[in-house]
Structure 1
Amino acid sequence: MLNYGKLFSLRRTPQSEPLPRTVPNSAGGHVFALSDWARLDRFLVLGSEGGSYYAGERALSRENAVAVMLCIAEDGPRAVATIVAMSEAGRAPKQDPAIFALALAASAEAEATRRLALAALPRVCRTGTHLFKFAGAVEAMRGWGRALRRAVGDWYRVRPVEALAYQAVKYRARQGWSHRDLLRLAHPETDEPARKALFDWICRGTLTEETPALVHAFASVQAEGADGAFAAAQVRTHNLPWEALPTGLMTSRAVNEALIERMPVGALVRQLGRLTAAGALAPFTAATAHVVSVLSDRERLLKARLHPMALLVALRTYASGRGQRGRLSWEPVAAIVEALNAAFYTAFGNVEPTGRRLVLALDVSGSMSCGSVASSSLTPREAAAAMALVTAATEEHWQVLGFTAEPGQSWSQGAALTALPIGPSMRLDQAVAATDDLPFGGTDCSLPMRWALERGVRADAFVVYTDSETWAGPVHPAEALREYREKTGIPAKLVVVGLVSNGFSIADPEDAGMLDVVGFDTAAPALIADFIRG
């Protein structure tokens, strides 16, 4: 007899078929669409560099740009406030998406929105590089009208002179722009002798007595005949950044030791490999002790807005003993490796444990190994492992699983779950590596709930780390969660951690027990814990 109930059900719909309110994703499955505002949040944190497995960089960037513009058109002040808040809180690994979004807002049809966006320029574009990127982005959207010139001019007028001099010698030119280009476009006027002298040096290269001392120090180390000892003294006296030094002096141990003493946290983390290769960092030295002290200083890390992504990339690169590009290699200092590992967790801020029973499920499929998260060298698969480890390190009751293939079957056949050896006893880079070379299958995001139901596992919440480009499975995740709730009597929750800046989620936005969050947002772990706690 024909079993019609297996062919059609109101309670169990294959993920390749639609539910009410679902839309097709890029992989052929059906998922829930994010609102434009939720997509704005994803874009501001994750960006679209590198694209994804199913969507190229250009296509994904255009989709996100359209979503950002829709938010700006709907509520310009809210959009600008969101951009500024995300940027100032340091929740995103890179500023590029926020800068691009601000350029879109500065090009909006509504004059009030343009005015708000331009007023926010110094809050989002805090460095010379940020300003150069904004100039390139906004020029692609609009002309250089009076309001835009005034806003750029204000960036140079309002900043303290010494701070502006630091920007001038540290970020001399980027993205095809220089301070000279922008000053000639903006024509900022000033009555301050030191600021006027700084403008003259930027535009004409002239040095006078009024020119800030930092610029004189920069000129002196750039002069022919400057040696390491002289440059080290200038670094200590005037706080010269490493970008201000000639390449030939960067191998000097005296220079590097002086830089380590005064280098900002972000720059220090990025330079660890080079500094070790140059001999400035070695076991049991004062310089190494200083680096460990900096990385252990919670207040300093949070004040520097050093994103966990930067620390994870630095840890993976530094522990490997070689640069991602070029031939630079070094012998990692164990104390620095451990300090980077600890700093990763610190950078997320305080996360209070929930005391709940959590099932953490990682999408380790082929699509998760393509593209990058937030313009980094990390794939979504690696980022998922790192995010899961933050929760595992905080919570007491957890189980980490990976979506894999059934033994002996191909990726297109049996989907399964495999327990992953990921836990707080592992070092972060080792946990990230644990997701490599797994026999991934077609990701079925309903499996965590079905797995728990079949085994009698009593879970309070399921946390799925995915790109939502899923299609496999006999039932939608939302349906599987509701079935789990009905049969166990547990009001279980589902949190979906999105790791690609697309418009999809497996979380039903109309179910109060389901939540979609942006992966690698520094606020995500605390937000997940608050939601699970209720």
Structure 2
Amino acid sequence: MLSLRRTPQSEPVPGTVPNSAGGHAFAVDDWARLDRFLVLGSEGGSYYASPRALTAGNAAAVQRCIAEDGLRAVAAIVAVSEAGRAPKQDPAIFALALAAASADLATRRAALSALPRVCRTGTHLFQFAGAVEATRGWGRSLRRAVGTWYCAAPVEALAFQAVKYRARQGWTHRDLLRLAHPETDEPARKALFDWICRGRMAEAVPEIVHAFTKVQASDVDGAVAAALIRSHNLPWEALPTELMRSRAVNEALIERMPVGALVRQLGRLTAAGALAPFSEGTERVRAVLSDRERILRARLHPMALLLALKTYASGRGQRGQLAWEPVAATVEALNAAFYTAFAAVEPTGKRLVLALDVSGSMGCSTVAGSALTAREAAAAMALVTAATEEHWQVLGFSGGLTPLPIGPSMRLDQAVAATANLPFDATDCSLPMRWALKQEVKADAFVVYTDSETWVGPLHPVQALREYREKTGIPAKLVVVGLVSNGFSIADPDDPGMLDVVGFDTAAPAVIADFIRS
């Protein structure tokens, strides 16, 4: 006989659909899935769905949003991109290309008008060119939009892009300029276009181009290159490979390197001797990573810092043979910067159960195509909330449940590593609520970090929450932090006490706190 109060997760309850694991969960709507895709992407797939299948599903959801309300979809893409809410720009660029190929004229115009707001670097523009070429032809409006990208940017900034991002994704600036044919009366911009397309060096070409040609000469040594870096702000991508081993060059780069590039290069800079205990370079890195305004202005995503911390503390690159001795001060600076990169969160003062799904699917899924598993991301996200709250308990669950002795007093990479040693098992997302009821734990909210691929257990998570509410008299809330861009959630969209948010969205901790507090 069907029970609506205690239904095994292998069977449906009203409003649920089959998930990829053989259980049942609630389907998130297309707009929620658009947000998930823009933040999390689908490159890593999930344990139950391949990257190709997830990408196809997400692309279909994005296209439905564009068809339903193209202007709203473009606004969502721009909002995620400009606020730096996503670890990577790739999903936003892909979605913008789909909008630029819409059958609706207003949507196409909005997408192409948003091009410089989403594609802020040469690499972004090259990615967009590849994506949009696969969905539409190079018509007049597309050529005009690309031409505007080259004509609207300040010429010095454009020259910087030209020497920094010379070729990516099978595209060059020469390719795009020849397609777009932008026209300009500015002597410096005209000379820059001529240098890019024909290699001709006119006097009016911006100074950074002259510096670039000098540093590319075969007889330039580290001291000369370091002087050119300091005088013309040359990026490391503009330097020949052999100069990157020079300590003088690396010390000069540290002084001017953008914060995102600096974080990615910490291992190499340490191996080159530019970062060492008590060195001037290390002090500069500490100053940069403690500068909240600079981190937020650079749109440096917390996941970039977490990945940098994980890699740097290990003393070895993920690829190749590069190795280094980590500098303790740099490790601690990365740890602190991770929390800084999230939006400021006001504590709720509530009693929170932070429940981490540590099942097999979470250990095999990756976040935004990175080396970070969904299981590790869950630990990091939970620590952000724990760092701002006074009353919390962290749990790990799969087929069973284990209280976890982790919290913000631990270094982030150590807490993340601790979850990797937990046993893999099947997924039962009802366990946190059932545990709290059995242990007579008084909780105001359960925050569950999961991929929602739950499939075992005697009752659905929503039924477990409602049973907890009934038996304790506490109107407990449920927040589901989704860490894979699939179409499922254990949160009932019709229950005002349940909320689904996107994991590793920089706005997520503040959204969670506001919901719990309300």
Work out whether 1:321 is the aligned partner of 2:315.
Answer: yes
Q: Aligned-pair distance for 1:10?
A: 2.4
Q: Distance in 1 between matches of 2:425 and 2:88?
A: 32
Work out whether 1:491 is the aligned partner of 2:485.
Answer: no
Q: Is the 8 A contact 1:341 1:428 kept in 2?
A: yes
Work out whether 1:172 is the aligned partner of 2:166.
Answer: yes
- Report what 1:72 is aligned to: 66
Of 85, 94, 97, which residue of structure 2 is paired with 1:100? Answer: 94
Q: Deviations over 1:67-101 (max 9, x none)?
A: 00000000000000000011000000100000000
Q: Distance in 1 between matches of 2:466 and 2:16?
A: 17
Q: Aligned-pair distance for 1:438?
A: 1.4
Q: Distance in 2 between matches of 1:498 and 1:145?
A: 39
Of 295, 298, 302, which residue of structure 2 is paired with 1:304? Answer: 298
Work out whether 1:471 is the aligned partner of 2:455.
Answer: yes
Q: Distance in 2 between matches of 1:371 and 1:403?
A: 16
- Report what 2:210 is aligned to: 216
Unaligned runs of 5+ in 1: 1-6, 405-414
Q: Distance in 2 between matches of 1:439 and 1:296?
A: 36
Q: Is the 8 A contact 1:107 1:138 kept in 2?
A: yes
| Letter matched to residue 284 of structure 1 | F
- Report what 1:447 is aligned to: 431
Q: Aligned-pair distance for 1:12?
A: 0.6
Of 358, 361, 369, which residue of structure 2 is paired with 1:367? Answer: 361
- Report what 1:279 is aligned to: 273
Q: Distance in 2 between matches of 1:207 and 1:366?
A: 58
Of 337, 361, 367, which residue of structure 2 is paired with 1:343? Answer: 337
Q: Aligned-pair distance for 1:436?
A: 1.1
| Letter matched to residue 420 of structure 1 | L
Q: Distance in 2 between matches of 1:455 and 1:288?
A: 48
Secondary structure at the aligned position of 2:352 is classed as: strand
- Report what 2:488 is aligned to: 504
Work out whether 1:45 is the aligned partner of 2:39.
Answer: yes
| Letter matched to residue 152 of structure 1 | V
Q: Distance in 2 between matches of 1:174 and 1:533?
A: 46
Secondary structure at the aligned position of 2:515 is classed as: helix
Q: Aligned-pair distance for 1:375?
A: 1.9
Q: Distance in 2 between matches of 1:397 and 1:521?
A: 23
Q: Aligned-pair distance for 1:370?
A: 1.4
- Report what 2:240 is aligned to: 246
Q: Distance in 1 between matches of 2:460 and 2:71?
A: 37
Work out whether 1:416 is the aligned partner of 2:410.
Answer: no
Work out whether 1:200 is the aligned partner of 2:194.
Answer: yes
- Report what 1:428 is aligned to: 412
Q: Distance in 2 between matches of 1:451 and 1:186?
A: 62
Q: Deviations over 1:311-349 (max 9, x none)?
A: 000000000001000000000000000000000000002
Q: Deviations over 1:248-270 (max 9, x none)?
A: 10011111000000000000000
Q: Is the 8 A contact 2:20 2:49 kept in 1?
A: yes
Of 251, 255, 260, which residue of structure 2 is paired with 1:257? Answer: 251
Q: Aligned-pair distance for 1:483?
A: 0.9
Q: Is the 8 A contact 2:44 2:370 kept in 1?
A: no
| Letter matched to residue 226 of structure 1 | V
| Letter matched to residue 256 of structure 1 | N
Q: Distance in 2 between matches of 1:469 and 1:142?
A: 36
Q: Aligned-pair distance for 1:369?
A: 1.3
- Report what 2:54 is aligned to: 60
Secondary structure at the aligned position of 1:250 is classed as: helix
Of 324, 327, 345, which residue of structure 2 is paired with 1:330? Answer: 324
Q: Aligned-pair distance for 1:447?
A: 1.0
- Report what 2:376 is aligned to: 382
- Report what 1:109 is aligned to: 103
| Letter matched to residue 34 of structure 1 | V
Of 3, 16, 20, which residue of structure 2 is paired with 1:22? Answer: 16
| Letter matched to residue 475 of structure 1 | L
Of 152, 164, 181, which residue of structure 1 is paired with 2:175? Answer: 181
- Report what 2:511 is aligned to: 527
Q: Is the 8 A contact 2:289 2:295 kept in 1?
A: yes
Q: Aligned-pair distance for 1:442?
A: 1.5
Q: Aligned-pair distance for 1:283?
A: 0.5
Q: Deviations over 1:269-315 (max 9, x none)?
A: 00000000000000101111010000000111111100000000000
Secondary structure at the aligned position of 1:490 is classed as: coil
Taking every aligned residue pair, what percent have the same amino acid on both sides?
82
Q: Distance in 2 between matches of 1:498 and 1:348?
A: 17
- Report what 2:119 is aligned to: 125
Q: Distance in 2 between matches of 1:132 and 1:199?
A: 17
The structure 1 segments of at least 4 consecutive aligned residues displaced by more than 6 Å after TM superposition are: none
Secondary structure at the aligned position of 2:495 is classed as: coil
Q: Aligned-pair distance for 1:8?
A: 3.6
| Letter matched to residue 488 of structure 1 | T
Q: Deviations over 1:434-479 (max 9, x none)?
A: 1112123221111111111111100000011000111011111111
Work out whether 1:266 is the aligned partner of 2:260.
Answer: yes
Of 139, 143, 146, which residue of structure 2 is paired with 1:149? Answer: 143
Q: Distance in 2 between matches of 1:183 and 1:470?
A: 50
| Letter matched to residue 450 of structure 1 | R
Secondary structure at the aligned position of 2:245 is classed as: coil
Q: Is the 8 A contact 2:44 2:368 kept in 1?
A: no
Q: Distance in 2 between matches of 1:293 and 1:454?
A: 48
Work out whether 1:12 is the aligned partner of 2:6.
Answer: yes
| Letter matched to residue 100 of structure 1 | F
Q: Distance in 2 between matches of 1:372 and 1:419?
A: 24
RMSD, matched Cα: 0.7
Q: Aligned-pair distance for 1:416?
A: 1.5
Q: Aligned-pair distance for 1:219?
A: 0.2
TM-score w.r.t. the length of structure 2 is 0.99
- Report what 1:3 is aligned to: none
Q: Is the 8 A contact 2:4 2:13 kept in 1?
A: no
How many residues are treated as equivalent by the alignment? 518
| Letter matched to residue 130 of structure 1 | H
Q: Distance in 1 between matches of 2:431 and 2:48?
A: 22
Q: Is the 8 A contact 1:49 1:371 kept in 2?
A: no
| Letter matched to residue 484 of structure 1 | Y
Unaligned runs of 5+ in 2: none
Q: Distance in 2 between matches of 1:84 and 1:134?
A: 14
Q: Aligned-pair distance for 1:421?
A: 1.8
TM-score w.r.t. the length of structure 1 is 0.96
| Letter matched to residue 341 of structure 1 | N
| Letter matched to residue 489 of structure 1 | G
| Letter matched to residue 259 of structure 2 | V
Q: Aligned-pair distance for 1:30?
A: 0.6
Q: Aligned-pair distance for 1:21?
A: 1.1
Q: Is the 8 A contact 1:170 1:241 kept in 2?
A: yes
